Amino acid sequence: MEKIGVFYGSTGGRTEAVVKKLQHFFPNNECEFFDVAKGISEIKNFNNIILATPSYGAGDIQDDWAGNLSNLEAIDFSDKTIGLIGCGDQYSFGAFYVGGLRELYNVLERKNASVVGFTESSGYEFDDSPAIKNGKFVGLVIDDSFDCNEILKRMATWAEEIKKSFK
């Protein structure tokens, strides 16, 4: 399998800490990490891609990602496979849970990109989430402030799933 490009935005460092655990679940593949505050030009060099964002405001994508959405839109995704990760707080922002994840997905959907690794929304407590499509989250959803014990288990299951589609 080819190496994996992991692109994340992280205002407070939690999403960065989450994605940095990913290498553990891809022991045979190098994960390269990119903070999107420095841009997303490296995406073109990867076919296996993971994009991660927390949510701010009322379910909005993180600021550094917001500044890069037009760059994301300009990328040719024809040979690329993408897994998405959304970090959020289900109890404090339960009406807009991981809304930023949906903003990433919307761009990729418009581009007909291959997004893999949708997950069940059971096991979380929230009122509503823009990141649900046809009953599933459009990626891996992590609430790092509450369900710490679940994080590694969820990451492991998700990593196994998206590996099947990575090149």
Ligand X SMILES: Cc1cc2nc3c(=O)[nH]c(=O)nc-3n(C[C@H](O)[C@H](O)[C@H](O)COP(=O)(O)O)c2cc1C
Stretch that binds ligand X, among 33-41, 48-56, 70-78, 104-112 (CB under 6 A): 48-56
Candidates 4, 26, 54, 117: give the one binding ligand X (CB under 6 A). 54
Stretch that binds ligand X, among 12-20, 29-37, 70-78, 107-115 (CB under 6 A): 12-20
CA–CA separation, 19 vs 7, rounded Å?
9
Stretch that binds ligand X, among 32-40, 87-95, 112-120, 154-162 (CB under 6 A): 87-95
Candidates 5, 83, 88, 117: give the one binding ligand X (CB under 6 A). 88
Q: Are 147 and 14 in contact (CB under 8 A)?
A: no
Structure tokens at 49: 């891609």
> Residue 56 or residue 166: which is nearer to ligand X going by CB?
56
**Residue in the block written with tokens 């998405």:** 84
Tell me the sheet residues that pair with 35. Answer: 8
- Using Cβ positions, the residue closest to ligand X within the complex turns out to be 88
Candidates 5, 48, 51, 59: give the one binding ligand X (CB under 6 A). 59
DSSP 154: H
Q: Does 144 sit near ligand X (CB under 6 A)? A: yes
Q: Does 15 sit near ligand X (CB under 6 A)? A: yes
**What DSSP string describes 41-77?**
GGGGG-SEEEEEEEEETTTEEPHHHHTTHHHHHTS--
Q: Are 50 and 7 in contact (CB under 8 A)?
A: yes
Q: Does 89 sit near ligand X (CB under 6 A)? A: yes
CA-to-CA separations, 21 to 15, 27, 48, 136, 151, in angstroms, rounded? 10, 11, 17, 23, 10
Candidates 96, 124, 137, 158: give the one binding ligand X (CB under 6 A). 96
Q: Does 11 sit near ligand X (CB under 6 A)? A: yes
Where on the chain is the footprint of ligand X (CB under 6 A)? 10-16, 54-59, 87-89, 93, 96-99, 144
